[in-house]
Amino acid sequence: MLGLQYLHQELGIIHRDLKPDNIMINERPLMAKIIDFGTCKDLTTDTAPHTSYVSTRWYRSPECILRSHHYNTSADIFAAGCIMGELYLQNPVFPGTSELDQLEKIFKLLGTPRRDQWKDGYRLAEQREIKLQDYPKK
């Protein structure tokens, strides 16, 4: 999390492909390092809309699953949460088999956001003719 904070706040970079394979662990001294910056985006110089297809599906935030061009560092934070959950459970938290299955797995566990909480997400879903199922939080 400190590495992400540094990337986001100090460097102004979104990693966009955070997953367990892109975190290296050194045992002596105990240290975690974020690697593979091939898909990162520098927010300090590039203000153009972002690429809509990023990151490995199981760690992708809902707005990225819906192919938003306007996401931010919260996409990396979502991926970090997925990684932490996977470390705890010893299995991926949201192992979707497709983008639609991925959204369903996320919302079944976390609950579907209300339209007034996530207007952009509902707009993106409607553009792709996706009906978001209403699941309660668990």
Nearest to 32 by CA among 10, 3, 8: 3
**Annotated catalytic residue within 17, 21, 42, 101:** 17
Q: Tell me whether strands 13-14 and 41-42 are parallel, antiparallel or unpaired.
A: antiparallel
Helix (H) or strand (E) holding 14: strand 13-14
Q: Is 17 a catalytic residue?
A: yes
Active site residues: 17
